[in-house]
Amino acid sequence: MRISRVVTAPVFNNQPVEDLSKIDAVIEKYRGKKGNLIPILQSVQDIYGYLPEKAFDKISNEAGLKLADMYGVATFYAQFRLNPVGKNIVKVCHGTACHVQNARALTTALEDNLGIKDGETTEDGLFTLESVACLGCCSLAPVMMIGDDTYGNLDGKAASKIIKQVKKNS
Amino acid sequence: MKTKVIVGMGSCGIAAGANKTYDVLEGLKTVDEQLDIELSKTSCVGMCYAEPLVEIIDETGYYLYGGIDEKKAKEILESHVKNNTPVKEYVVKSDKFETSEDSYVNGQEKIALRNCGYMDPESLEEAEERNAYKAIQKIGSEGKTDAGVIKDILDSGIRGRGGGGFPTGLKWKFANASVSDDKYIICNADEGDPGAFMDRSLLEGDPHAILEGMIIGAYAIGANQGVIYCRAEYPLAIKRLNIAIVQARERGYLGKNASGIKDFNFDIYVKEGAGAFVCGEETALIASVEGERGMPRKRPPFPAASGLWKKPTNINNVETLANIPYIILNGPESYNKYGTEKSKGTKVFALTGKIKKGGLVEVPMGMTLREIIFDLGGGIQDNGKFKAVQLGGPSGGCIPESLLDTPVDYDSVNSTGAIMGSGGMVVMDEATCMVDLAKFFLNFTQQESCGKCTFCRMGTKRMLEILTRITDGKGKEGDIELLEELSGQIKENSLCGLGQTAPNPVLTTLKYFRHEYEDHIFNKKCEAKVCKPLLTYTVVADACTGCTLCARKCPVDAISGGKKQVHFIDQDLCIQCGACDDACNFDSILVS
């Protein structure tokens, strides 16, 4: 289900102090427009990489949106994150075609390589590992995406090589 | 003429390394003055298995090169462009000679994909050369009425390509009949079905066709605003759509008196989705555009009467819209001459999985699965044995070998228990475990269930638990019957398509591969060697060199044996993780 009914852990974890004035322009742009909730959250996430707790309060106060509505939307859609993520988000595709071509082994290899579990962020803050439903490059399965770059026909070794390359460049 | 060199730069081409190929070609072009070529980009032509693709058009003809990495790019420039000798071994398609890949292309009829891979999708001029906006201009110049347009679409017989298969003309007729000052037309580009990517290819390869399809639809139903709801995972598609919209506005195809038709005011904007499979459902999609959680609501009222912002709204799928300009321009007969009695025209399929030639194919409805998979797709990878093909994604089902001669049209596919869906075709060989596959889909639907209907919310979770139990070797008698009972209840008591079809992958695998379930439950065996808890790992004494690698990798120290001695796995300690098999360099771990 898209929302866990019972929240067992604190929702917001180790959030750094963010400069909230960065979202003034976003609020200005969308204030009062109908259907603005999702675009506001998307723009805020573009700025910080996640949705800071304090940003919710600010948007609520200044754009007049209800906190409950925002929280409902932010937890419903897969795109939104409530906690900071690594500089590079490694999305491993687990669509049907990738599943059939052993995407699980790819995730395992990346977990070993990065020393984190699926969904976690490395200590140096460079990488976050995520599983996603389908990246739409099915004929090159298994596939992963780092930033806006997609890599196809992978195995554990090839993926580790790419991680090394990305590390070198960041 | 100047020799044209065109690189395929769809998402799939880029993933295969087309950027590097393009950079090499561009670099060589700038340093080498002898190279008098016109270098450009296009999108996916559908031969994804042969990416990166480079097309060379010169005075002698047309040559499509496949698998062109940086090294081969240099080679073809040197040999083909400079010395006029095509490198035949890399050519996958040409009008000069036959190639081994002709069988992939020759069985196809490209209508929706007519421009994909044949033009630069960011150039309006190239699109116009290939008839973009000619259909809406024809409507304007002939003074065709809205009823006339709807009649053409009805006569063409086209049915919604998103999966439902509802006649498009009828949908337009209903929306047209609703009376309101404001009406909306929405393009559903929230292609969430894992294993299907035809919409992405169309959006990236021919954005103007989608815009024109929407303009024609808007004219037919009387809409003044269009929305393209595109998933955020497709950044390239969103970028190209936005470029196309700006171009169309500048040229007057959109805006006041759109496309030169008096009093027809229409504009389009792109709305980025936020990642929820259920938003492919019409009413959930509308909720999402309104900025809410994408949860479906009860129908009626149907969107045609009360949709976005409670105004009449018509929603069409990307592929459906791509066909519309072709039908209007060439007449309904040009379209309904293809296909079967009840399923007209052509359909795009995404051929993926364990298939030799994976990619996008567009074929007339009624072609059999066998023809598509074996004649076009070239059969199974590594000469494996065909086991099943999955049609329709998480809402669809698995079709076994005995039904390979089923013609692909809406009704025949439905009769197998699968659905046509958006056209994802995932081919599987003997190395795929059907119980594991059913679990995979249930895991997906369970996560994507919006949580509104109890049977979908709880039922899919319970089904997933049972399937997990079975694949963990803890299945018990009665599990199969329980799965069937839950399936029936979920189908019956869910509001939207997601819940109503969620049990399909389980039901079809139970129907055609019941013995695999029984094998898992009663014999604790996984024939395909996928479900690890059901496997036994042993050392083949003859092959073991005693390198100790496996013993060092084993996380539970279940492997004993000194250097240069045959090793032994203690079955009581083994947790079936497979680390020894992965580590062994001599194939001496036997998995059974």
Same domain, A95 and A158: yes
Q: What whole-number percentage of chain B has pLDDT above 70?
A: 100
pLDDT at position B45 is 84
Which of B378, B404, B429 is where one domain is finished? B429
**A146 CB near a chain B CB, below 8 Å?**
no
Same domain, A122 and A149: yes
Same domain, A165 and A94: yes
CB contact under 8 Å between B293 and A73, yes or no, is yes
Same domain, B556 and B587: yes
pLDDT at position A28 is 94
Q: What is the mean pLDDT of residues B159-180?
A: 93
Domains in chain A, number: 2
Which of A55, A76, A97 is where one domain is finished? A76
Q: d(Cα A21, Cα A27) in Å, to the nearest integer?
A: 10
- Which of left, alpha, beta for B121 (phi over 0: left; psi -120 to 50: alpha)? alpha
Which residues of chain A lie closer than 8 angstroms to B276, CB-CB? 2, 76-78
A12 is a domain residue: no
Same domain, A165 and A96: yes
Which residues of chain A lie closer than 8 angstroms to B353, CB-CB? 96-97, 100-101, 141
Which residues of chain B lie closer than 8 angstroms to A1, CB-CB? 446-447, 449-451, 457, 461
In this model, does residue B291 exceed pLDDT 80? yes
Q: What is the pLDDT of residues A15-30, one digit of tens each?
A: 788 899 999 999 999 9
Judged by DSSP in three states, A116 sits in coil
**A63 CB near a chain B CB, below 8 Å?**
no
CB contact under 8 Å between B292 and A73, yes or no, is yes
Q: What is the mean pLDDT of residues B11-27?
A: 89
Q: What is the mean pLDDT of residues B130-151?
A: 96
Considering only CB atoms, A78 lies closest to which of B276, B291, B359, namely B276
Q: What is the pLDDT of residues B399-420, one digit of tens each?
A: 999 999 999 999 999 999 999 9
B111 is a domain residue: no
In this model, does residue B104 exceed pLDDT 90? no
pLDDT at position A7 is 57
CB contact under 8 Å between A151 and B15, yes or no, is yes
**A7 CB near a chain B CB, below 8 Å?**
no
Same domain, B417 and B447: no
What does pTM read for this prediction?
Answer: 0.91
- Which of left, alpha, beta for B117 (phi over 0: left; psi -120 to 50: alpha)? left
Supply the mean pLDDT for chain A: 88
Question: When comparing pLDDT for B243 and B11, which is higher?
Answer: B243
Q: What is the mean pLDDT of residues B255-266?
A: 95
In this model, does residue A95 exceed pLDDT 90? no
Same domain, B321 and B457: no
pLDDT band for position A8 (cuts 50, 70, 90): low
pLDDT band for position B297 (cuts 50, 70, 90): very high
Same domain, B403 and B468: no
A7 is a domain residue: no
Supply the mean pLDDT for chain B: 93
What does the block give as tokens for B90?
A: 């890399």
Which CATH number goes with the domain that contains B141? 3.40.50.11540
Q: d(Cα B204, Cα B324) in Å, to the nearest integer?
A: 18
In this model, does residue A4 exceed pLDDT 80? no
Q: d(Cα B210, Cα B244) in Å, to the nearest integer?
A: 10
CB contact under 8 Å between B291 and A35, yes or no, is yes
Considering only CB atoms, B275 lies closest to which of A36, A77, A141, namely A77
Same domain, B202 and B169: yes
Q: Could you tell me which of B314, B327, B315, B318 has the C-alpha nearest to residue B177?
A: B314
Q: What is the pLDDT of residues B524-571, one digit of tens each?
A: 999 999 998 899 999 998 889 888 888 888 888 899 888 888 999 999
Q: What is the mean pLDDT of residues B175-185?
A: 96
CB contact under 8 Å between B197 and A140, yes or no, is no
* Domain membership of residue B36 as a residue range: 3-106
Question: When comparing pLDDT for B156 and B58, which is higher?
Answer: B156
Q: What is the mean pLDDT of residues B355-366?
A: 93
Same domain, B24 and B43: yes
A109 is a domain residue: yes
pLDDT at position A134 is 82
Q: What is the mean pLDDT of residues B342-369?
A: 94
Q: d(Cα B216, Cα B127) in Å, to the nearest integer?
A: 17
Domains in chain B, number: 5
Cβ proximity of B213 and B220 under 8 Å: no
Residue A162 one-letter amino acid: I
Give the side-chain half-sphere CA count within 13 A for B313: 23
* Domain membership of residue A136 as a residue range: 88-169
